[in-house]
């Protein structure tokens, strides 16, 4: 496993980069888009050891935004970053057995997962983790965690779903990947083929529609 594991941000945003409103998503459920999020974040890399799970790293407000019946997000190691080091909704002892890791910074989150991912390479002296082997690392929001991740050189990929409808938003993705700053920082949109290869599924058309909402599945990378 790499010493500095790559991080992939996954986000759905409007044209104005809106990602949230009043502690939840700005749009009334986009089932097919959410299903894409769930499939992609659950699917471990090809040729990973059996039992490998991906990790989803999120900020405390994003954790709270997930309907209680869906959290922790199943079949993934859930990591919640919170400066207080506590989650009101979870008993600390219960957290780890449910596959929930609570950390106080993104760096701590990545270090903790790296230790789990390299488990077996070292034999003694590790803290007991009870974490499975870790595959891909996804940053799932919200805006302050996206910003922290974009500042790390390990963040080399963004899976962006562009929502082609305007919704009132009070929370925004911190970087316009296709704007001046995004270009200056080296972000480029990849091909559909590269997207399919990374997400591990064939995509008939990256341009999709649910009800009257059109959206587009995109991937951006930086060298």
- Catalytic residue numbers read 25, 33
Of 62, 78, 103, 171, the one binding ligand FOL (CB under 6 A) is: 62
Q: How far apart are CA 53 and CA 59, in angstroms?
A: 20
Binding residue for ligand FOL, selected from 1, 5, 52, 66, defined by CB under 6 A: 66
Spatial neighbors of 220 by CB under 8 A, at least 6 apart, are 157, 158, 160, 177, 182, 187, 188, 189, 190
For residue 172, give both structure tokens: 């925004």
Of 34-42, 79-87, 91-99, 119-127, which segment contacts ligand FOL by CB under 6 A? 34-42
Residue selected from 2, 51, 67, 68 as contacting ligand FOL according to rule CB under 6 A: 67
Place of tokens 């930086």: 222
Q: Does residue number 82 form part of the binding site for ligand FOL (CB under 6 A)? A: no
For position 213 contacting ligand FOL by CB under 6 A, the verdict is no
Q: Provide the token pair at 4.
A: 């500095």
Q: Which 161-190 positions form the footprint of ligand FOL (CB under 6 A)?
A: 161
CA distance 6 to 8: 7
Q: Which is nearer to ligand FOL, 1 or 206 (CB)?
A: 206
């Amino acid at each position: 496993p790499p010493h500095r594991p790559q991080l992939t941000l996954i986000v759905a945003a409007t044209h104005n980069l809106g990602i949230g409103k009043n502690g939840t998503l700005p749009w009334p459920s986009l089932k097919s888009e959410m299903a894409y999020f769930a499939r992609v974040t659950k699917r471990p890399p090809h040729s990973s050891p059996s039992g490998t799970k991906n990790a989803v790293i999120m900020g405390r407000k994003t954790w709270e935004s997930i309907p209680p019946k869906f959290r922790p997000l199943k079949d993934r190691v859930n990591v919640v970053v919170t400066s207080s080091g506590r989650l009101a909704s979870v008993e600390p002892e219960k957290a780890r057995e449910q596959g929930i890791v609570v950390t106080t910074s993104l760096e701590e989150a990545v270090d903790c997962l790296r230790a789990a991912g390299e488990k077996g390479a070292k034999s003694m002296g590790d803290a007991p983790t009870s974490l499975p082997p870790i595959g891909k690392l996804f940053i799932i929001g919200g805006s302050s965690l996206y910003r922290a991740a974009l500042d790390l050189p390990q963040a080399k990929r963004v899976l962006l779903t562009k929502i082609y409808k305007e919704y009132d938003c009070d929370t925004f993705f911190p970087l316009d990947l296709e704007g001046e700053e995004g270009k200056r920082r080296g972000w480029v949109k990849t091909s559909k083929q590269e997207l399919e290869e990374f997400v591990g599924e064939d995509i008939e058309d990256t341009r999709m529609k649910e009800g009257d909402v059109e959206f587009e599945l995109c991937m951006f990378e930086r060298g």
